[in-house]
Amino acid sequence: MSAAGRVRRIAVLPGDGVGAEVVAGPVELLEAIAGAGRIELTGPWPVGASAFGELGTGLPADTLAACDGSDAMFFGAAGEHPGVSLDDYRPEHSIIGLRQRYDLRVSIRNIVRAGEGGGRPLIVLRNLLGGAYGAASTRTESDGTDAACDEVILTPDQITELAEMACDLVEQGLASSIVSADKANLMATSRLWRSITGQVAEKRGVPLRHTYIDRMAFELAHDDVVADTVVLTEGIFGDMLSDLAAGRAGSIALCGSASVNPGPPVQGRCVGLFEPVHGSAPRHTGKGRVNPSGAYLALAALLEWFPETAELGPPVTAALSEALQAGPLTYDLAPAGTEPAGTASFAAAVNARALPRLKELL
């Protein structure tokens, strides 16, 4: 049965390098969902260094118009592109530009473990704007003579919104507790963070443990923090911890990323950018060998973000978990001495498990 509400429109932006390869399988699922009238799909739209190489801008006007007119962006990768020098175009430009345009101020990342079949992911929740991710006005560049400076500014409202969202995830049954990681033994912003996150969790009756960010890094690397937890932390800490958790899980491809505006849209109707956390992987581009798991996790997060499609997310995650458990796995996860699967054949294994489940719901 379909949830009542509007039909959400998704813009597909494959981006650079392996982006197009990893989104191909998930896009087949999106096409099936669109075929049943449950979403609208537009694209592929050019973005990133490849768009810069072709059109002279990483964020072409047609792409931005299509994103303004969509509820969410399904993004492949931003990175390098042959023939485009890093001096002319910085790969982070497109991602940061889209975050700012749509006020995508919160990042939610899901990290799964291969072979753990069906377990809940570890979630890293952080601010994406503000804090260490302040606007250009918080930065003082240096030509090498004077000091450089990056100001870290966090408001009580920003921290409250993040803490409430972490509690929402626990209440929705997506995790059973929160670990808040900060540097309250050093930074004023962390002391404010610690006091507000504690108050919000107490008010909501959600279990929350405070820890220092360095201890958190140790615990993640040591595998003490299991799935089923929301790691709630400042933007720059979460940037590092999400890569660390993916590394501990076995591959950067085991992390899906949602950058969202939890409030009303500020530009058109777009409120989210959903992508695998890995970049464009220039060394692997065109070889059909990279792991598309992060793009599937991003797809599940996208579907779950909107009430109208929320029920369609878990079947995607379940299909991915099964395919990861059954193998064969892509080169990054394949046991030594086994023949790795390619991107397309691993995606086909996920889709063969996801499509029958989705069709029951469409």
Binding site for ligand IPM (CB under 6 A): 92, 95-96, 239
DSSP string, 79-124: ---TT--TTT--THHHHHHHHHHTT--EEEEEE--TTSTTPPPEEE
Chosen from ligand IPM, Mn ion, none, partner binding at 51 (C-beta under 5 to 8 Å by type): none
Does residue 80 interact with Mn ion by CB under 5 A?
Answer: no
Cβ-based nearer residue to ligand IPM, 278 or 284: 278
DSSP string, 119-173: PPPEEEEEESSBBTB--GGGEE---SSS--EE--B--HHHHHHHHHHHHHHHHTT
Are 253 and 330 in contact by the 8 Å Cβ rule? The answer is yes
Q: Which residue sits closest to ligand IPM, CB atoms considered?
A: 92
Cβ-based nearer residue to ligand IPM, 54 or 92: 92
CB of 95 to ligand IPM, least distance (A): 5
CB of 353 to ligand IPM, least distance (A): 28
Chosen from ligand IPM, Mn ion, none, partner binding at 34 (C-beta under 5 to 8 Å by type): none
Chosen from Mn ion, ligand IPM, none, partner binding at 41 (C-beta under 5 to 8 Å by type): none
Chosen from Mn ion, ligand IPM, none, partner binding at 95 (C-beta under 5 to 8 Å by type): ligand IPM
CB of 308 to ligand IPM, least distance (A): 27
DSSP 41: E
Beta-bridged to residue 273, according to DSSP, are 73, 259
Chosen from ligand IPM, Mn ion, none, partner binding at 31 (C-beta under 5 to 8 Å by type): none
Chosen from Mn ion, ligand IPM, none, partner binding at 103 (C-beta under 5 to 8 Å by type): none
CB of 226 to ligand IPM, least distance (A): 22
For 143-155, the three-class secondary structure string (H helix, E strand, C coil) is CCCCCCEECCECC
Does residue 239 interact with Mn ion by CB under 5 A?
Answer: yes
For residues 191-200, one letter each, b for 16 or more C-beta atoms within 10 angstroms of the residue's C-beta and e for the rest, the string is ebbbebbeeb
CB of 165 to ligand IPM, least distance (A): 17
CB of 239 to ligand IPM, least distance (A): 4
Are 359 and 348 in contact by the 8 Å Cβ rule? The answer is no
Cβ-based nearer residue to Mn ion, 71 or 239: 239
Q: 210: part of which helix (H) or strand (E)?
A: strand 208-212
Structure tokens at 204: 């909501």
Chosen from Mn ion, ligand IPM, none, partner binding at 332 (C-beta under 5 to 8 Å by type): none
CA-angle at 314, arms to 285 and 263, nearest 5°: 85
Binding span for Mn ion by CB under 5 A among 143-151, 233-241, 259-267, 349-357? 233-241
* Alpha carbon 249 to chain centroid, angstroms: 16
Binding span for Mn ion by CB under 5 A among 42-50, 236-244, 292-300, 305-313? 236-244
CB of 201 to ligand IPM, least distance (A): 25
Cβ-based nearer residue to ligand IPM, 38 or 109: 109
Q: What is the dihedral of CA 243, 249, 254, 258, to 10 degrees?
A: -50
The sheet that has 122-127: what strands, in order across it?
39-42, 8-15, 72-77, 272-276, 255-260, 106-111, 122-127, 229-233, 177-182, 208-212
DSSP 277: S
Does residue 234 interact with Mn ion by CB under 5 A?
Answer: no
Cβ-based nearer residue to Mn ion, 41 or 240: 240
Helix axes 156-171, 188-204, angle to 10 degrees: 40
Cβ-based nearer residue to ligand IPM, 71 or 239: 239
CB of 344 to Mn ion, least distance (A): 27
Binding site residues, Mn ion, CB under 5 A: 239
